[in-house]
Structure 1
Amino acid sequence: MKTKSKRKILIIVLSIVMVLLIAGDWALSVIIYNENFNQRFESDEAFIRRVEDFDGLQRTKYEFASNKGQKLTGYLYTTEEKPHGIVVMAHGFGGGGHNSYMDCANYFAHHGYCVFAYDATGNDESEGEGVGGLPQGVIDLDYAITFVEESGNFPDLPIVLFGHSWGGYSVCSVLTYHPEVKAVIACSGFNSSSDMFEAEGKKQAGNGIYLILPFVKLHERMKYGGYASNTAMDGFSESDAAIMILHSLDDEVVPAKYGYDIYYEKYKDDSRFRFIHFQDKGHNYFNDETYRDEFNAEFDKWLETLDYDYNVSENKERFSKDRADYIHKNLDREKRFNSLDLELFGDFVGFYDEKIHGVIKSEEAFEK
């Protein structure tokens, strides 16, 4: 009897220990997740793009609610040119909202499209103490597309999507909820939200990341429901949209194996997919970086002339002001904000046009 009682006690103790260990791992996972992804992001004021930086570009501000009632701010970008489609843009993670993609919006707006670009939850002009997590990008895009379609503020035109990085994941995954979208361009994206936690975690913890990855997936599932488990591949299977996938094989922010390689393996022979890969263009390959590099070199020289240590906390406010003053006085806004790879964006427009014009022609034929 005593032996059996001791065994029962031992089992109970071990069970309690296991529960505590699991609870501890779960709590640790949530803390690490929030530190990496649940932050608020603001665009660098010194490099804020203004609509006046782009000839002929106009914009109208809108606000719309996302899943928890938080107000998101978006802008409809237009020109005098009559559009034949609407590009809904989803921005990347960590640099603030859509402002750094205004040059992309400008190009599309001058080449046959009006553009709706918004700041996701926890970014720039939109509400939210933090992003919350990567599935929030899919949620916000879902609500943005619905706003474009149902608010009555936008022309009734075919919708296409454009996204980079976090936005690249979002524009693909959201197809599950919006199969009516006609075409998607996804740059440097990833297949699932947990993939990015794995990619970032391996840099910091090596293979130890796999011990907490199941808890991260559970946390996201509890917080975001089906949005968390929905992937880009799920979106592809639920949609007939034309898909263009771009990635650079040396991308260290989003390694190609978490997105491009997965898609290519399944869809390389599918005519509705177009794949473009680069060898050495990193995570961002929209712009000619010549002027940026020149400016950064001059900025580094300026840093050496400062008569105080700008890395010391007590000099933080002083340096922030001096830095902003230097940038405002020396930045050539025309060169910095109008440096898109025009050949690449010409391909983007051609890809959209091919799909949109096909839709327009078929609709006209139906009416006749």
Structure 2
Amino acid sequence: MLTLILILLLILFFAYFAIVNFVGPSIILKPKQKNFLVDGKMITSPLDLGLEYENVEIKSFDGTILKGWLIQADKEPIGSVIYIHGTYTNKAFGLKRAQFLKEAGYNVLLVDLRYHGESGGEFCTYGYLEKFDISDWISFLLKRFPDVPVALFGVSLGGAIAIQTAGIDNRVSAIISEGSFANFSDLVFEHQEKKFKFASRFLTKKVLENVERIAGFKIDDVAPLEYVKRVSCPILYIHGKNDETVKPWHSTVLHRYTLKGEILLVDGAGHVNSWEVLGDKYKEKIIEFLKENCNKNKAL
């Protein structure tokens, strides 16, 4: 019996050691990518949806090569929108949104975040580095389209990055944040609870300490809730009431600390699928918000 207990303790120790030092940090810092499918067909470029585009790239502040697709408005643009995708995905996931934004008079820049899609980068840092990358993309757009205001449209992780970006860059005219998290450490704890039906603050803390050690950034700095207090532009929050991936309280708390904000909590919607639930009302709300807050012709 004693031998069996010792064996079980050793197994538990090595499992703990592996999760804390290798498995957990790898899952967080190097999320596996998914392909974007429409009606079962993999989308490889905007042309697959009938959208003319331009391949663009920049070198970010730390030398990382970042890539994107630029889709120009059908007419003289009234604004530009940077679409920021979520974890595990890439710029292709924004193409259906790009369709209605383009028709409404907006240039749309769909970017691959670092360590995602075609962009470079060793790790995903959940906004710690990405906020500076998006700021560099804003510079790219303003150089290309002077005097055309820029909005950020982020889903899931992208919404969190949009808020962090606007916290350091006052050139952002408006933000649409769909399914964003307020605090990264809370998000990791909730994911642990959802995936394993068990959650430990101690285990979460130890995993995140190794994430910090490996990638060289502080988890406490990945907190949209702190950055939103510095954001002066309007923010539209969209969140599904049934979201189990990023619980609705994240957007509710962010909205509470937003200077100029509104929130749309969608009955029957889960994680970033409010469009499917709301239909055209989703598009209409976004266009209405953008035309009010990111429109170079508004004052004319």
Say yes or no: TM over 0.5: yes
Which residue, out of 262, 265, 270, partners 1:277? 265
Which residue, out of 199, 203, 214, partners 1:212? 203
2:134 alignment counterpart: 141
Indicate yes or no: 2:281 matched with 1:343: yes
Indicate yes or no: 2:246 matched with 1:251: no
2:231 alignment counterpart: 239
Q: CA deviation at 1:219?
A: 4.4
Identity %: 20
Q: Using a 3 Å threshold, how does the CA distance of structure 1 residues 174 and 209 change in structure 2: closer, same or farther?
A: farther
| Cα displacement string for residues 109-140 of structure 1 (whole angstroms, at most 9, x for unaligned residues) | 110110111111222222246x4342354343
| TM-score, scaled to structure 1 | 0.67
Matched position secondary structure for 1:254 = coil
Q: Which range moves more in the overlay, 169-178 or 225-234? A: 225-234
| CA contact 2:24–2:207 (8 Å) conserved in 1 | no
Which residue, out of 12, 29, 41, partners 2:33? 41
Segments of 5+ residues of structure 2 without an aligned counterpart are 1-12
1:104 alignment counterpart: 97
Q: CA deviation at 1:346?
A: 1.4
Q: Give the aligned residue type for 2:78.
A: H
Indicate yes or no: 2:194 matched with 1:203: yes
2:182 alignment counterpart: 191
Indicate yes or no: 2:64 matched with 1:70: yes
Q: CA deviation at 1:175?
A: 1.4
Q: Using a 3 Å threshold, how does the CA distance of structure 1 residues 51 and 355 change in structure 2: closer, same or farther?
A: same
| CA contact 1:70–1:127 (8 Å) conserved in 2 | yes
The structure having more radius of gyration, on CA atoms, is 1
Q: Using a 3 Å threshold, how does the CA distance of structure 1 residues 138 and 207 change in structure 2: closer, same or farther?
A: farther
Q: Give the aligned residue type for 2:269.
A: K
Q: Using a 3 Å threshold, how does the CA distance of structure 1 residues 76 and 176 change in structure 2: closer, same or farther?
A: same
Matched position secondary structure for 2:172 = coil
Root-mean-square deviation (Å): 2.9
| CA contact 1:192–1:229 (8 Å) conserved in 2 | no
Q: For 1:189 and 1:78, how far apart are their aligned partners in 2?
A: 27
Q: For 1:227 and 1:87, how far apart are their aligned partners in 2?
A: 28
Alignment of 1:1-368 (within 5 A): 28-29=20-21, 31-44=23-36, 46-48=41-43, 50-55=45-50, 57-95=51-89, 97-128=90-121, 131-135=123-127, 136-149=129-142, 152-205=143-196, 208-221=199-212, 223=215, 225=217, 229-257=221-249, 259-267=250-258, 272-288=260-276, 341-357=279-295, 360-361=297-298
Q: For 1:88 and 1:195, how far apart are their aligned partners in 2?
A: 27
Q: For 2:226 and 2:219, how far apart are their aligned partners in 1?
A: 11
Q: For 2:36 and 2:74, how far apart are their aligned partners in 1?
A: 30
Q: Using a 3 Å threshold, how does the CA distance of structure 1 residues 284 and 26 change in structure 2: closer, same or farther?
A: same
Structure 1 or 2: more helix by fraction: 1
Q: Using a 3 Å threshold, how does the CA distance of structure 1 residues 227 and 52 change in structure 2: closer, same or farther?
A: same
Q: CA deviation at 1:232?
A: 1.8
Q: Give the aligned residue type for 1:88.
A: I
2:8 alignment counterpart: none
| Cα displacement string for residues 184-229 of structure 1 (whole angstroms, at most 9, x for unaligned residues) | 0000110122232112112245564311333344445553546851
| CA contact 1:78–1:113 (8 Å) conserved in 2 | yes
Q: CA deviation at 1:63?
A: 1.0
Q: For 2:234 and 2:126, how far apart are their aligned partners in 1?
A: 24
Q: For 1:65 and 1:193, how far apart are their aligned partners in 2?
A: 27
Q: Give the aligned residue type for 2:183.
A: S
Q: Give the aligned residue type for 2:70.
A: L
Q: Using a 3 Å threshold, how does the CA distance of structure 1 residues 248 and 213 change in structure 2: closer, same or farther?
A: same
Matched position secondary structure for 1:182 = strand
Segments of 5+ residues of structure 1 without an aligned counterpart are 1-20, 290-339
| CA contact 1:162–1:184 (8 Å) conserved in 2 | yes
| CA contact 2:181–2:246 (8 Å) conserved in 1 | yes
| CA contact 1:220–1:228 (8 Å) conserved in 2 | no
